[in-house]
């Protein structure tokens, strides 16, 4: 999933959680999306660090 689409969906679920609450399947989706986002960020950090070490 594209990162911008991922962030939009995470934010959409977050807004819904604050207003009306989430169903169990939405909570599971939210957690899965958050894990995917964190994996993306960790990958970027690792790439940056490997580039720094390579210099």
Question: Hey, what's the torsion of the CAs at 39, 49, 11, 4, to 10 degrees?
Answer: -90
Distance CA 38, CA 23 (A): 23
The pLDDT score that the predictor gives to residue 55 is 58
- State the pTM of this model: 0.84
The pLDDT score that the predictor gives to residue 53 is 84
| Residue 44 CB contacts under 8 Å (≥ 6 apart), including other chains | none
Give the tens place of pLDDT for each residue, 1-55: 899 999 999 999 999 999 999 999 999 999 999 999 999 999 999 999 999 987 5
């Amino acid at each position: 999933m594209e990162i911008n689409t991922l962030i939009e969906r995470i934010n959409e679920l977050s807004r819904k959680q604050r207003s009306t609450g989430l169903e169990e399947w939405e909570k599971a989706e939210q957690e899965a999306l958050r894990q995917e986002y964190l994996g993306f960020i960790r990958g970027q950090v690792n790439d940056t660090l490997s580039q720094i070490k390579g210099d």
